[in-house]
Chains A and B, each alone.
Chain A
């Protein structure tokens, strides 16, 4: 089934890693309603999980009192996902390239790389409260390697 009219969902989650599963299920439900190609689900889910993990761990410091807000919007054959945290914000350009030789054995710092690998557009901004807002967009029909 393919749905041509816009689809939208919003979630507000406490900052717990287990809530990533809730966000994933919502994304997959939207994808299936929109007739998303099956091979697109994996990169979409991967990018979403990274964005929420960053919001929970780095943005909200795993404080369950702080919230993560998500907005999914399916429109014109694409999906746009916005993830907001209640942290202090950060400079994405300060994150070192994990593929450089000097960084290969670093155990962290690959989340944003994953997101950029799997989505057509990834932009970072600030929420009115000073937290981080990341907006990611991807076509629903393109294959796994199209954004490589």
Chain B
């Protein structure tokens, strides 16, 4: 999995690409969230546009990140879901947990 980060105001945008799967991508997103919080960024937007697959460990880590950020008084939101990732969030009912956006400007404005 590849990642890059940028800040827009007080929002950390984390762009992810490739597989978020057990033993690699799942650990990486945990580290990215820890770094954001260490940098004082509690409003976080995951850009999943480049994600090709996410397994149950990847989904579980995203849920854990959501809980961690929320406990710190922040918010974790998602944007640019592919049909596959959207389907996973639908069937796991996690679509009811995460705020999801197609447009970055709209996503940034929602924080």
Name A residues whose Cβ lies closer than 8 Å to a Cβ of B.
Answer: 17-18, 20, 42, 45-46, 49-50, 53, 57, 98-99, 104-111, 113-114, 117, 144-145, 148
Q: Which one of A17, A109, A148 contacts B91 once the chains associate, using CB atoms below 8 Å?
A: A148
Ordered nearest first, which 7 A-B pairs have the shortest CB separation? Answer: A17-B23, A110-B56, A107-B60, A107-B64, A99-B93, A111-B56, A53-B22
Residue of A nearest to B88 (CB): A114
**A/B pair count, beta carbons within 8 Å:** 61
How far apart sit A113 and B61, CA to CA, in the bound complex (Å)? 16
A145 contacts which chain B residues (CB < 8 A)?
Answer: 87
Beyond contacts A53-B55, A106-B60, A145-B87: 17 other A-B pairs, Cβ-Cβ < 8 A, are A20-B22, A20-B23, A42-B53, A42-B84, A46-B53, A46-B55, A50-B56, A53-B22, A99-B93, A104-B96, A105-B66, A106-B63, A107-B64, A109-B60, A110-B92, A114-B55, A144-B84
Contacting residues of chain B (45-64) with chain A, CB-CB under 8 angstroms: 53, 55-57, 59-61, 63-64
Residue of A nearest to B21 (CB): A49
Let me know if A53 and B63 touch, CB within 8 A.
Answer: no
Q: Which one of B21, B24, B61 contacts A107 once the chains associate, using CB atoms below 8 Å?
A: B61
Contacting residues of chain B (61-82) with chain A, CB-CB under 8 angstroms: 61, 63-64, 66-67
Interface size on B, residues (CB 8 A): 23
Q: Provided the pairs A42-B84, A107-B61 are in contact, do residues A18 and B23 lie with their beta carbons within 8 angstroms?
A: yes
Main secondary structure of the interface of B (DSSP, over half): helix
